[in-house]
Amino acid sequence: MTYGDAEFGFELLTCRWAELAWPPEEPRDSSVVVSRQLGTQKRRWDTIVVEADPEALAARRKFGTDALDSDLLHVVRNAPADWTWYRDALPHPGYPWRYVREAIHEAAARGVVEKRRNGNRIEIRRIAPYPDWVNRIVAVENKPDLDASAARALRSQLDHDVETALADEVWVATAATESAVEPALMESMPVQVGILTLDFSDGVHADAGDVAWYPSTMDPTADGERFTAVEKAEKRLAIAERAYGKGWRSFHDTMRPDCRHFELRREGRALVPWCAAKERAQTAAECSGSCPEFSPEPPQWRTGGWPIEGGPGKGIKRLLDGRREWVRERQ
């Protein structure tokens, strides 16, 4: 079994390819933020590509590396340039003000707004204008073994994506084969959805992708049956913020890099997990404390040479987090 054979491994490789080569077959004029397993309560996408204005994305870094949730965004986006009582500064949120005060305290603790007390009133001031950094959001459904049955199963999800128009474009990514994508498969999917074929037989490289079908561009600024334009804008920014904070290398949060068998293996220009015990790529569901092969790092691994930071498992986390920051800064 290779990385590209399982949906989880294919998803990781697709994320790294998008980081290198998005948009496909076109020159890049935007920064890109890539994440995975994000969406709304009713729809979760495998891969998310946020196309961002480079200068605005650099300005977003002033607000830290973590995501800002909707409560924090309400405070940060509306914080005034001068000290103002928070109830005069912020629009009514539609819920009790005590929750706004909690968000203000959290925002101040994270350094994304300033606060002070003036008598019995809490006043706030912005650290900088929150930038309009999101240009476009692209959703990718990963299906390495796309066949007629898989295409039919995807139809309802893709119809939902087209109808809601939360993303500017929707794609299906599949593993490249020696034959072309069958017209029957295209007919099983909405015509607005693009199809990517990705060849990871030699690992991840910028030229690993080809477009089999170009998508239509949807209009997230228009009112729809499910969401108004304002609701879509709020949901899109929330998704983009979560993508910014999470990235795609956060798979270590749901796996066990503290297992002695957990390794990172290079696949072209990607670093992806590998299980030495299984001698293959493991899925996120397999890599858990309940795995029969799970074996914690020996204590001497965690102390020998790592007196403070921990053992190799902690080192893997630091490496992946460092790679995310390095890529983010290069954007």
pLDDT of residue 318: 85
Q: Compute φ and ψ for 85, nearest 5 degrees.
A: -55, 135
What are the extents of the domains in the chain?
A: 3-57+132-247, 69-126, 250-330
CATH fold for domain 3-57+132-247: Trna Endonuclease; Chain: A, domain 1 (3.40.1350)
Above 90 in pLDDT, residue 103? yes
pLDDT of residue 187: 75
The dihedral formed by the CA atoms of 88, 91, 94 and 100, expressed in degrees to the nearest 10:
-60
Quick: pLDDT tens for 78-99.
999 999 999 999 999 999 999 9
Quick: pLDDT tens for 104-140.
999 999 999 999 999 999 999 999 999 999 999 999 9
Above 80 in pLDDT, residue 178? no
pLDDT of residue 1: 39
* Percentage of the chain lying above the pLDDT 70 cut: 93
pLDDT interval class at 51 (50, 70, 90): very high
pLDDT interval class at 2 (50, 70, 90): low
For domain 69-126, the CATH class is mainly alpha
Q: If you average pLDDT over every residue of the chain, what do you get?
A: 90
